[in-house]
Every structure is written in C-alpha cells, then in structure tokens.
Structure 1
Amino acid sequence: MLNEKAQTELTKTMSGRDVAQAGALCYRRNENGGVEVLFVGSRRNGRWGIPKGHVERGEASSAAALREAFEEAGVTGVVDKTVFGMFSYRKDTSPNQYHVAVHLLKVSRIADKFPEKDVRKTRWFPLETALREAAQPGLRTLLSRLETVGV
C-alpha cells in the first residue's frame, strides 16, 4: 500500500503535468467592416484553432504568441501585450493539461513563406463562423468576448 505522498506523486505522473502555452487570436477587418479570425488546422487531427505553442525561458507570452503566429500561419502584426484571456485543453495523445495565455494580434501582413507552411492549413473565418468551428470550448468563449471588445 502506498503512503499519501507516494500516491499523490503517482497520480500526478499518471495524469500528466500542466504546460504553459501562448496563443495568438489573429484578426482583421474585411471590406465590409466585419471581423475575421485566422485559424490554423491541427497537424494531428485537422481541427481548427489558433496558433499556439510553448513559451521559451525568459520570453514574454505576448512575444511567444507573435512568434507562434508567424511560425504556424505566416502572419505578423500588432500584438496586445495584455493577456486577452485563457483557455485549457488536452491533446488526444498526451496526458498533459495545456493552459494557453491568449493575446490579440491585429494582422497587418501575411508572408508567402513561413516555417510550417507545408504542414498546416490556414483559413480566415467570419467571427460568427469561427465561433462554430473552434475546436476548444474555452476558445469559443474567448471568441464570443471578441464581439464585445470592439476590435
């Protein structure tokens, strides 16, 4: 029989660990003034989400969000240094829980070449459609807030 401390450690190992990530909610206005959101397809399952990934040691989450947006979707622009919101998710293939600090990124440029161009799909969605297409429920909550902040 395991003591309480050993049981806690075993449970942590079995259930994975918490992983901090940063993400960019990339947006623009279309010719009619409507908000559009850029999604990237997951490499694992093709579901739509925002560019996101790990935060390097000493890197601000806003800088990580900007880096991930370029690596995964080829976009650059003005990133808000303030965290717009957070959501958490689990990957089908990992026991870890991922916690994403999301920053707004107003897209000003889309590159022809970027690191993950050949392995990811990207697509602009009107905000209303993005609300339906987002893979993570927490991301849908953030998208619904986007309507009220007047970007």
Structure 2
Amino acid sequence: MLREFFNLWNPRVDSAPGLRQSGAVPYVVRDGKVVFLLVTSRRTGRWIFPKGSVSTGMTAWDSAAKEAFEEAGVTGVIGTESLGSYRISDKGQLVDVDLYPLLVEDQLDSWDEMDQRKRHWVLPGEAKRLLRDRALTRITDRLHRQLMADLVTTQ
C-alpha cells in the first residue's frame, strides 16, 4: 500500500543533478486518430516512452527529442512544456522523469538502439494496456484529450 502511494504521489520538486530525466511521448495524428510510439526498456523489456538523463548543455525537451532519436529512431517537433512527470527507481535512487510531446515527422529504418529495443505504434487503448505505470497512462490520456480537442477546434 505504501509503495502504491509513492508510485502515484509525485509532486514537482527540484531534484538533485542526475536524479531528473526527460523523455518524449512520440505521437502522430492519422485519420483523426492519435497514435503513440512506445519502446521497450533495455533492462526489463517493458513498454515505455523514450527517456534518459538530460544531456549537458541541452534543455530538457531537446534532450527528450535526442532520446527519441536514439531509442526509437524518430524525429519531429518537440514541445517545450512538460506534459507531466513520473517517478522511477534507478539503481536504488528515485528519479523524476519529465515528459514532452513529440510530433513525429520522420521514422528511420535504422537507428542507434534498434538491436536493443522494439518499437510499436499503438492507439490510446492499447497504450493503456501496455504501459504498466499509471502515471504514464494518465499523461497519455491527457495528451490524447488535448490533441482531440485541438482537432475539433481546427475543423
């Protein structure tokens, strides 16, 4: 029960250097539907979004775009405002990961980590099923609702 509490409770706090990461939520909108790109983690094989440490001299969102390029082989337009964050345990340390939306414009046939990860495009329902972390599903839901609302207002 205590573990569940800490998994769900995630205030935005200033983390020590190295204890905050950034990640991208890659997506496209096709035929009025939002589709998300998931990758597998190297260690456990679970479905996640591309993420990693913020590179020195880069903004968190540019670093997130770099992770998406390296881990999923995609490029596009990265948002500069965080969708939210979630908390992971990495080598016994709690690490907060800020996620940024990435509108995918190009998908490469080969990329840096293609031999270490799988990538998979999913509709929101399948994303909910595959993502084990509830914070990730909440962030995915929030982005999906926002994108659908934007579609309605632009039509």
* TM-score, L = length of structure 2: 0.80
Shift of 1:29: 1.6
Q: Name the counterpart of 2:77.
A: 78
Conserved? CA contact 2:83–2:143, under 8 Å: no
1:88-138, CA deviations, whole angstroms, 9 ceiling, x for partnerless residues? 1224xx201121111000001001221101110000010111012113221
Could you report, residue by residue, the CA deviation over 1:11-68 in whole angstroms, capped at 9, with x for unpaired residues? Answer: xxxxxx97110100000123x3211100000111111000000002221001000000
Is 1:41 the counterpart of 2:63? The answer is no
* Larger CA deviation: 135-144 vs 42-51: 135-144
Percent sequence identity over aligned pairs: 35
Preserved CA contact (<8 Å) 2:22 2:98 = yes
Coordinate RMSD, CA, aligned: 1.5
Evaluate the alpha carbon distance shift between residue 18 and residue 67 of structure 1 in structure 2; reply closer, same or farther with a 3 A threshold.
closer
CA distance in 2, matches of 1:18, 1:135: 24
Structure possessing the higher radius of gyration over alpha carbons: 1
Q: Distance in 2 between matches of 1:49 and 1:136?
A: 9
**Runs of 4+ displaced beyond 2 Å:** none
Q: Does structure 1 residue 55 correspond to structure 2 residue 79? A: no
Checking the alignment, whether the CA contact within 8 Å between 2:19 and 2:96 is kept in structure 1 is: yes
Aligned counterparts, 1:1-150, within 5 A: 19-30=19-30, 32-91=31-90, 94-150=91-147
